Amino acid sequence: MTAREATLIPGDGIGPEITAATLQVLDALGIKFDWDEEYGGMAAVEKAGTPLPNATLDSIRRTRLCLKGPLTTPVGGGYRSVNVAMRQEFDLYANVRPTKTIVPGGRYEHIDLVIIRENTEGLYVGLDHTFKIGGDRRAMAQAMSIVTRDGSERIAKYAFEYAKRHGRKKVTIVHKANILKATSGLFLEVSKRVAEQYAGTIACDDKIVDNTAMQLVIKPEQFDVIVTTNLFGDILSDEAAGLVGGLGLAPGANIGSHAAIFEPVHGSAPDIAGKGIANPSAQMLAAAMMLDHLGELEAGKRLRCALEAAIVQDKIRTPDLGGRAATAEFARAVVKRVGS
């Protein structure tokens, strides 16, 4: 099997530990990668004086594929968020956040949903200003939300194609068109038109965002795929992760036309870095998403099944999941399950 070229950014804090564990599992699957290891975040500042070196960007441009650990954006110094900079640089318009119940015994036993968030428009475009009135330099603040027909159409199409590819049955369009009639109204209108192209194949409904937030808590099993705008998706995806135990089990993907970046959603956790107790599940699940993206659906499924078996059947769990397993022990358990 020919090795696939990909960029690897181990990241900051616990990043190198959970990345090393994930590479062990990928090796056990027999999927070969030719990794170009690069720096990002604080590690890059120490090496190159910037959290996002040109060498890292050049590598992603070449490979168009990246597995990254959590990165820390330095405080002060005018540094912008590394993740936001990557999204803008590579037009990573689709943020994909799957949420599934893995650890038994919680309140919610049957959650299995995916939130697909538009990643480049909305309130996060950065048009955020303060205005001086009289002698008060911050007397008024204003933020502008940008929603375009093209941007709405491509994220809606991505959501429906994702549902079709992964055997999902329904897409829920989440909006606030009752109040934000221009921006959210446009998103809803365009998404409904896209939905018509999948009639008879993928069911579709729509919900107002505040009702969606409530319904996620009351009856989350009603959701399959959610597609929504940037701010709403950011909030709802973290809410959904909380229903299944937090960000330790939350992978994410940022997909564009020219590159795809896969990562754990959680931060770099410097307080436990180097202690060998970090949970690598989110990084491993991000690698499974990367395999799906490459068309290696069976390998992605094997990875997920192995991880779930290690947690549920073998009861190998890191401290954040209520266990005592070390990062390396957890990795060995998943590798063993992959080979069984």
Report, as residue numbers or ranges, the catalytic residues.
Answer: 124, 176, 210, 234
Alpha carbon dihedral 323, 328, 334, 340, in 10-degree steps, equals -120
Using CA of residue 154, residue 158, residue 159, residue 160, what is the dihedral sign? positive
Position of tokens 């008060």?
Answer: 136
> How remote is the C-alpha of 26 from its chain's centroid?
19
Task: List helix spans (H) across 219-313.
Answer: 230-243, 281-293, 297-312
CA dihedral 215, 217, 220, 224 (to 10 degrees): 70
What does the alpha-carbon distance between residue 2 and residue 62 come to, in Å, rounded to a whole number? Answer: 17
Largest separation between any pair of C-alpha atoms in the chain:
72
CA distances from residue 325 to 113, 263, 315, 320 in whole angstroms, order as listed: 28, 22, 9, 10
